[in-house]
Structure 1
Amino acid sequence: MQLQGKAINHVKFGNGIIRELRDKYLIVDFVHGERKFLFPNVFAGFLSLIDHDAQLAVESIIDDVITKEKNEIKEEINEQERIIRIQKLKVHPSSQVAFGLIQNNKKDVFESWSVFSGEYLSGESKGEPKQPIRMKLNSACLLTECAKGEQEKERRIIGAFMVRDDFDGRTCNDGQIESHKTYRFRLNESEMLPYYKYFETNSKVYNWGNTEYKYFSNEIMQCILKDIQKMILDENRLQAVNEFYQYFCYVNRLKETENTELNTESSTEELAMEVKSS
């Protein structure tokens, strides 16, 4: 905006002429000498342009500055609230969720980066969305797939996402679980891991059942993420997975380690409980 040479009026110093706008400072020549003012702040009640159209243009700039400052304050408050939520979160040892994509379409899941919890299969709530009451902001959604024509034992891990940091499964009445805007990834064909490597069954009977999702332990998810890190060669994608891993450990209060041992007994027990419930 061209302000040089514009006539102004100041509530204290009277009429003047703008000499220049330099480094966010307005230099104005008055009868009794020059004055320097912060731009555009000085126009908020202290200084006005004689040119009506120019004054309106400056007021528009001021409105933009005020809006930006309000948004920055709002973002700061939201960040403080997010940190408080994480600090106060009571972490359940098995709050991670594996989805079988039984009632979800893979293409839709990756396009929307959200997943449906499925429906209750029996009881008074039959047909209604299943409420993922154990899921909180520390929950990761592990996306798995058993392709058409393949045996269940061939089920693979195809991606994952953290839920939004304001998510609470107890209030998720529609069953729609949205991802965090940052922490999510999809695996390429060569990067996909065998799901049952982490959930071995003693009977060697592989059965997902009809339920859409199954809970499993935080430590197993940590192990899966460590293995995924080893599979990804692209530097940019690996950086995204590394940040996912760091965030996951942070919100689940887990120590970041180079090597994470898999507790097969706990994973078997967890899977058996979920299969039985389905």
Structure 2
Amino acid sequence: MNLINEEITHKVFGEGNIVEHEGSIITVDFNEGIKKFVYPDAFREFITLNDRDTAKSLKEIFLKKEKKKKALERERAEEQERLALERQFREKLKNNRIHESAQIVFWLDEEEQQNVFTDWQVSTGMIQSGVNKGQPNRAARLRPNSAGLLTAREAEQAETERRILGLYMVNETFSGNSSNDGMVPSHAEFRIKLTDEEAEKMLFWNYYINQNHPHRTSWNSGKYRYFDNVWTAQILKDIIALKTDEEQIKEVERFLEYFCKMNALDINNIPEANGALKQSESIDTVG
């Protein structure tokens, strides 16, 4: 902004005329001599432009600069917070060895299928025998880095048709071995619900594999079972490929990024799924 020859009023020196403006310094000619001031600071406290239009334009410039300054300060604060969380996360990884199967997969009954996407929590069920019969199961491996996978199949369906209905990250304060009610609550942000059409394409046994019996697709009994960290990342990756809505894609991408960070996984090196159904397909292809 050109301020040369603009008339000003100084709180102490009175009327003057700007005769020079170089970078952050302006030079003003007063009746009693030449004075130099820091630009634009002096205009905020000591100097007023006499021309109203020029003063208004300068004020708008100040407001834009102030807005930019606050945005930069906010970015710096957010970056500092991010770095602090990252340091905290790395320290946590150092002090707590992450189990390779720290995730949980639930078999939802009909009632749970109706309520889970409202309540966003699932029960681990009750102990069926022994001295603790009737007490809630404690999924001891679960930590804030765990995800809860939601699956179901109809009574008349084969186990190979088990669908993935959605998944969520466990609440960031949750610890499975200290849970008293057997409920596994979700994180407030990282939650995914699949449509019926999407769930039909996300078959559980494309990911899960029993290492001792790689072609077996049987759940047998039990409310839940533990699930591999890498398999969960594969599911999230495939959901991203399945989605078509840009906002939903971004939501799942944020979930995957958070999940990989919490489980010390390389987001750029997630192997392709190779569960029991994939194993069977390979055999059929070869045959």
Return the TM-score normalized by structure 1: 0.62
Q: Are the counterparts in 2 of residues 104 and 115 from structure 1 also a CA contact under 8 Å?
A: no
Query: Are the structure 2 counterparts of residues 204 and 226 from structure 1 closer, same or farther at C-alpha, using a change threshold of 3 Å?
Result: same
Structure 1 position 118 matched with structure 2 position 125? yes
| CA-atom RMSD in angstroms | 2.9
Alignment coverage as a number of residue pairs: 192
Report deviation, 1:209: 2.6
Report deviation, 1:110: 1.1
Larger Rg: 2
Report deviation, 1:179: 0.4
Structure 1 position 210 matched with structure 2 position 214? no
Structure 1 position 92 matched with structure 2 position 126? no
Aligned to 2:137: 130
Q: Are the counterparts in 2 of residues 86 and 251 from structure 1 also a CA contact under 8 Å?
A: no
Query: Are the structure 2 counterparts of residues 231 and 135 from structure 1 closer, same or farther at C-alpha, using a change threshold of 3 Å?
Result: same
Task: Work out which of the residue numbers 227, 235, 243 in structure 2 matches 1:224.
Answer: 235
Give the percent of matched residue pairs that are identical in Structure 1 and Structure 2: 33
Q: Are the counterparts in 2 of residues 226 and 260 from structure 1 also a CA contact under 8 Å?
A: no
Q: Are the counterparts in 2 of residues 103 and 116 from structure 1 also a CA contact under 8 Å?
A: no
Task: Work out which of the residue numbers 143, 148, 153 in structure 2 matches 1:146.
Answer: 153
SS at the partner of 1:174?
coil
Report deviation, 1:262: 3.6
Q: Distance in 2 between matches of 1:134 and 1:127?
A: 21
Aligned to 1:238: 249
Q: Distance in 2 between matches of 1:258 and 1:190?
A: 28
Report deviation, 1:176: 1.0
Write the letter of the residue equivalent to 2:207: Y
Aligned to 2:263: 252
Query: Are the structure 2 counterparts of residues 131 and 85 from structure 1 closer, same or farther at C-alpha, using a change threshold of 3 Å?
Result: farther
Q: Distance in 1 between matches of 2:180 and 2:86?
A: 22
Aligned to 1:171: 178
Which deviates more from structure 2 when the two are superposed, residues 80-89 or residues 128-137? 80-89
Which deviates more from structure 2 when the two are superposed, residues 192-201 or residues 126-135? 192-201
Unaligned runs of 5+ in 1: 1-35, 37-75, 269-278
**1:139-175 deviations in whole A, cap 9, x for unaligned?**
0000001123222221000100001111111111111
Query: Are the structure 2 counterparts of residues 179 and 145 from structure 1 closer, same or farther at C-alpha, using a change threshold of 3 Å?
Result: same
Unaligned runs of 5+ in 2: 1-44, 46-79, 280-287
**1:2-57 deviations in whole A, cap 9, x for unaligned?**
xxxxxxxxxxxxxxxxxxxxxxxxxxxxxxxxxx9xxxxxxxxxxxxxxxxxxxxx
1:49-88 aligned at under 5 Å gives the runs 84=88, 87-88=91-92
Q: Distance in 2 between matches of 1:118 and 1:205?
A: 25
Q: Distance in 2 between matches of 1:188 and 1:245?
A: 19
Aligned to 2:115: 108
SS at the partner of 2:130?
coil
Which deviates more from structure 2 when the two are superposed, residues 147-156 or residues 173-182? 147-156
SS at the partner of 2:149?
strand
Q: Are the counterparts in 1 of residues 206 and 274 from structure 2 also a CA contact under 8 Å?
A: no
Report deviation, 1:254: 0.6
SS at the partner of 1:120?
coil
Which deviates more from structure 2 when the two are superposed, residues 184-193 or residues 201-210? 201-210
